[in-house]
Amino acid sequence: MNLTPRLFKSYASRNVNNPRLRKTFRFATHHALEKRLQLVQEVPEWEALRDRAHQIKEEVIDHLDFYLEGLETHVTANGGKVFWARDGKEASDYIVKVARRIRAKTVVKSKSMTTEEIGLSRTLEENQLEPVETDLGEFIIQLAHEWPSHITAPALHKSRGEVGELFAEKLGIPYTDVPEELCEAARKLLRSKFLKAELGISGVNFALADTGTVVIVENEGNARLSTTMPRVHIAVMGLEKVIPSFNDLPVFLRLLARSSTGQKQTSYVSLISASRQPGELDGPEEFHLVILDNGRTEILKDPRMREALFCIRCGACLNTCPIYQRVGGHAYGSVYSGPIGAVITPLLQGVEVAKDLPYGSSLCGSCSGICPVKIDIHHMLLWLRQQVVAGRHTPWQERLAMKLFLAGMSDSALYRLGSGALRLAVRLGGAQGRPLKVPGWTQTRDFPPLAERSFKTLWKELEKTEAGRAHP
Amino acid sequence: MSSSRAEIFGKIRQALVKPRPVHHHGHPPAPADLSQLFASAASRDGLVEKFRREFELVSGEFVFCDNNASIFEFLSQLIQSSTTTRIAVSRHPICQRLSIAKWLQDRMPGTSLLVEEIESENPYARERLRNAMAQVQLSITGAEYLIAESGTLVVAAGSQASRQISLLPSIHAVLATADQIYPNMADLFLEIQKKYGAKLPGSALTCITGPSRTADIEKVLIKGVHGPTRLITIMVG
């Protein structure tokens, strides 16, 4: 499989026909949803929290320049270095430059969707550095040379047997499919990497504009180690991750873990404001914050799409999506999968590249209903479909059919003529009462059988009867 | 000022000229008052019991000790049952007040003790501390704050405790007192903000909720991935 959304249709149809994969995704997504639901029911303020989180994000995005300046000012005042990157290449180049300056060889990375988005590990490898993914799931997919199939559980698609075989082959340990033993093998290897790495790279869940603090949410402790043990820590964030204030954080933290993994709080939430301060016993000597655009200001340009920048990457919309549950994360051909991925990927990579993603939805709205920051995901998918059509990225047959449909629907004479012709064709073809077949269209959809007589005909017949006359 | 910075800010300001559309189904205004959003977890009654219940739900171990003798009895049992030989103690005020290090030295002769007393500005001393900490099995530290709603311990990096002491050892025991418990995160954060303003204490604050964990392989819950396998709160009465 290649990391491209162009192949969504073929990946999706392949995955739908893979029973093992479907079972894996069904189990994992339902497991997360059940745990979430239990915890959400215990919080009577849940809806108010969602509204408040949405409001805070509106405030940030409406005044993004103001809050980013505040963040920069405070990070700098705390002794950190802020680097602005227009795209992934600028961000990666800067990180390589820092790594060269400190003569780093081993680079420990904690889980970060943003660094996945810019393919940072590949750039580090090309520059003779050894990037080590330290989150267990990310470590597994790094060994397998794959990309994440879920925003918060990157190796969701892998069975324990597959992980066992992978570890036996790549790490040279005896085969086992006991998760605890696999975890222990990874822990041992990664602990040695933590102790020798010169550079640690993390993502950012929230960046607080009024204190210059980056907040990192995790369960394993690998983000804490990545930001504590190496001499230099670089945090990489998309520019939408800023929130106004330290006291906005509790709102998001009460929503995030419950939505994502069904926990009240994750094992660790680190609030990092600076490198080691005088008198402190450990921590990195340097702290860098890379603030990345990489297409985000393009999303900002379209007011209808701005809400895509509210996402806190909890993964709840993936879990609840009937399409994601069936096709799995890899089908989307992007590091961002599921409903929010189907919004973000076309916006970041272009509608023409990812034109099929907005159609990977039943528009049921379950994603919008579960989103902890109330992003109107399914309406944005609809607007993206509009853009796909307006950009003439749909097949010409479909465009023609829609034009004919439009003409028929706007003129009753044309409508009668068209439906009459269609009925005649069906009758001549001997297909009465059977679903119609339209090449390309009915492969994945039903075209309901055409009624033998139209509503209008039926109505006229009804009027001739007693019952019809009784109700003029 | 880099050109990238100027370009990014230019793009943002240009984009924001167009206002956000009014939401088609509208969002009810939510209370901006943080405490109101945590109202259901605001009660100050029975905070110790609430904390204990939540802490145990996330696989934490909780013990209440109302005198020094019971603290030391608990620690000596813990050391023996876990066959611990290397122990680290932080310089947190509560560890000093209870003379934890001195007691270990006097009464646990079979164990080697690491006390975080180093010349902090000497990089070699820090390197030695770090290498020694990587060998430690049990660390004993103090908490800054506790949060009852989620069973969370809040620790601060500073001169009194390293970041790594709560991270590298496989067992982490935390001394705490009942007056450190806040009902929920909002109450605590408002208090911290009142006390410190824009300059948070130390370079890092960490909220710890249970031992390190993962469910990355087939959703099987495993405790102790990169951080401690066991997390213990010793509530000092």
The per-residue DSSP string of A221-284 comes to SHHHHHHHSSSEEEEEEEGGGEES-GGGHHHHHHHHHHHHTS-SS-SEEEEE-SSPPTT-SSS-
pLDDT average, residue stretch A271-290: 97
The torsion angles phi and psi of A224, rounded to 5 degrees, stand at: -65, -45
* Residue A199 per-residue DSSP state: E
B209:A276 CB<8 A: no
The chain-wide mean pLDDT, for chain A, equals 94
Cβ proximity of A381 and A354 under 8 Å: no
| Distance, CA of B181 to CA of B188 (rounded, Å) | 9
Tell me, what's the pLDDT at A471? Answer: 59
Residue A466 has pLDDT above 90, yes or no: no
Average the pLDDT over each of A21-30, A66-75, A398-407, B175-184 and give the range with the smallest value.
A398-407
Residues of A in contact with B204 (CB under 8 A): 227-228, 270-273, 283
Which of B147, B203, B206, B221 to substitute to test the interface with A, most A CBs within 10 Å? B203
| Distance, CA of A33 to CA of A320 (rounded, Å) | 7
- Tens of pLDDT, residues A297-345: 999 999 999 999 999 999 999 999 999 999 999 999 999 999 999 999 9
Residue A398 has pLDDT above 90, yes or no: no
Cβ proximity of A375 and A308 under 8 Å: yes
Confidence at A108, pLDDT banded by 50, 70, 90: very high
pLDDT average, residue stretch A341-364: 96
The C-alpha of B124 sits at a distance from chain A's nearest C-alpha, in angstroms, of 11
User: Is residue B172 in some structural domain?
Assistant: yes
User: Is residue B199 in some structural domain?
Assistant: yes
User: Is residue B24 in some structural domain?
Assistant: no
The chain-wide mean pLDDT, for chain B, equals 94
- Tens of pLDDT, residues B8-65: 999 999 999 988 777 655 667 777 889 999 999 999 999 999 999 999 999 999 999 9
Residues of B in contact with A180 (CB under 8 A): 220, 222
**Strand B152-156 to strand A213-218: parallel, antiparallel, or no bridges (unpaired)?**
unpaired
| Residue range A46-294, CATH number | 3.40.50.10420
Confidence at A382, pLDDT banded by 50, 70, 90: very high
The SS3 assignment for A465 reads coil
A300:B54 CB<8 A: no
Confidence at A472, pLDDT banded by 50, 70, 90: low
Task: Write out A287-333 in H/E/C secondary structure.
Answer: EEEEEECCCHHHHHHCHHHHHHHHCCCCCHHHHHCHHHHHHCHHHHC
Residue A66 has pLDDT above 90, yes or no: yes
Percent of all residues in chain A with a pLDDT value above 70, rounded to a whole number: 99
Residues of B in contact with A210 (CB under 8 A): 198
User: Is residue B70 in some structural domain?
Assistant: yes
The C-alpha of B9 sits at a distance from chain A's nearest C-alpha, in angstroms, of 6
Q: B186: domain CATH number?
A: 3.40.50
Residue B127 has pLDDT above 60, yes or no: yes
pLDDT average, residue stretch B98-126: 94
User: Is residue B58 in some structural domain?
Assistant: yes
User: Is residue B164 in some structural domain?
Assistant: yes
Residue A5 has pLDDT above 80, yes or no: yes
- Tens of pLDDT, residues A180-230: 999 999 999 999 999 999 999 999 999 999 999 999 999 999 999 999 999
Average the pLDDT over each of A114-118, A301-305, A468-472, B210-214 and give the range with the smallest value.
A468-472
| Residue range A1-42+305-394, CATH number | 1.10.1060
- Quote ipTM for the complex: 0.96
Residue A454 has pLDDT above 90, yes or no: no
Tell me, yes or no, if A192 comes closer than 8 A to chain B by beta carbon.
no
Which of A280, A368, A377, A382 to substitute to test the interface with B, most B CBs within 10 Å? A280
**Strand A268-272 to strand A213-218: parallel, antiparallel, or no bridges (unpaired)?**
antiparallel
B186:A269 CB<8 A: no
User: Is residue B220 in some structural domain?
Assistant: yes
- For chain A, the structural domain boundaries read 1-42+305-394, 46-294, 399-470
Confidence at A470, pLDDT banded by 50, 70, 90: low
Domain count, chain B: 1
Tell me, yes or no, if A19 comes closer than 8 A to chain B by beta carbon.
no
Strands (E), A120-238: 130-133, 199-202, 206-208, 213-218, 232-238
| Distance, CA of B73 to CA of B65 (rounded, Å) | 9
Residue B128 has pLDDT above 80, yes or no: yes
| Distance, CA of A144 to CA of A34 (rounded, Å) | 30
Tell me, what's the pLDDT at A451? Answer: 84
* Domain range for B118: 46-236
The SS3 assignment for A81 reads strand
Which residue do the tokens 């990587």 mark?
A: B134
pLDDT average, residue stretch A284-304: 96
Which uninterrupted H or E stretch holds B40? none
User: Is residue B18 in some structural domain?
Assistant: no
Confidence at A262, pLDDT banded by 50, 70, 90: very high
- Give me Rg for the CA atoms of chain B: 22
Helix A46-62 to helix A64-77 angle, to the nearest 10 degrees?
A: 90
Q: A447 versus B90: which is more confidently predicted?
A: B90
